[in-house]
Amino acid sequence: MPVNGTAPIKKGTLGPFQKPYTLRFDPRSGQTLKLKNLGNTAALLSLVASAQSQGATGDFTVDPVMSTLETETPIQGITINGVTIADYVFDQWEIETNESSESVFGDPRVQANISSNDRAVIARAIADGSTLTAAAASCTTDGVGANWPSPVTTFVAPTAGQSLQLYNEMMKMQDAWGPFTYVLRHTSNTNAQSTYNVADNNVNQIYNTAQLLSEVQSSFLWTYPIPSRLVTKINNIPVQYAETNEAAYYLWGWKKSASREQINAQFRVDIVTEYVLALWSTIRYAPV
């Protein structure tokens, strides 16, 4: 009787048969186990479903004689010959810049070139919709600057060219400036069952540079602390100072955000925390 070419003869057991495995580790995908199984198609189908439920990537090659299933499955750790290899946790550090929209009165050039008197009177005139002369009289009557470290108690209408130009711009609703702020972003990449980097301590508080570097350089806190290149960058960012009459209420430092978490492929989790460098109000935010 001739052999039917579409129904090959199969001998032996149906499998699956596991071939040698490979442990793979990567800073983004963590630690994974690469497996290869051979066997009858029907025998491998249940393994395909199991691999998918574990967030595995893989290839299923269907063959009428011997099918092949190759998978790469995330694992938290593995013991080989009595040695335990823990999960691969990675810390990524970035320094970025953001442009924000702030009050023009926070611009260092405005603070340096336009007097406290002129800024107070211009702000009052814009708020009241009045003239500069009327605004100066209102500021004097209210004693706006009486408690400033460098008190101004008698206000006069601005006459300097830059002050009048600022007033004209603000009358045209040009009342903001766009400073660039440095942002230090830390991302921990770990598995979905990990207890790594879960503490949102000091959120919404201000670190000075020394306190920041103490935290991000800690080998106790991080598997991979911040690289020295970024430390050099941080130490060379120019310091900004608040104007004299408000210096007691501002701190040049890094405000820490609450962390956010994102589940990625293979059930890896990105835990992201940001530290934003600016002059922060110590009335609104507490120093660490």
Chain segment 109-134, per-residue pLDDT in tens? 898 899 888 999 999 999 999 999 99
- Determine the angle formed by the axes of helices 228-235 and 209-216, rounding to 10 degrees: 170
| Cβ atoms < 10 Å from Cβ of 256 | 24
**Residues, the chain, total?**
288
Do residues 287 and 280 make contact, with C-beta atoms less than 8 angstroms apart? Answer: no
Strands (E), the chain: 17-18, 22-26, 30-39, 57-61, 67-74, 77-80, 83-86, 90-99, 102-103, 176-177, 180-191, 206-207, 250-256, 260-263, 268-281
Q: Which amino acid is at 119?
A: R
What does the domain layout of the chain look like in residue ranges? 17-86, 90-100+179-281, 104-177
Q: CB–CB of 90/27 below 8 Å? A: yes
In which band, very low, low, confident or very high, does the pLDDT at 1 lie, cut at 50, 70 and 90?
Answer: very low
Higher local confidence (pLDDT), 143 or 41: 41
pLDDT given for residue 6 in this prediction: 58
Rounded to two decimals, the pTM is 0.74
pLDDT digits (tens, 9 = 90+) for 208-250: 999 999 999 999 999 999 999 999 999 999 998 887 777 889 9
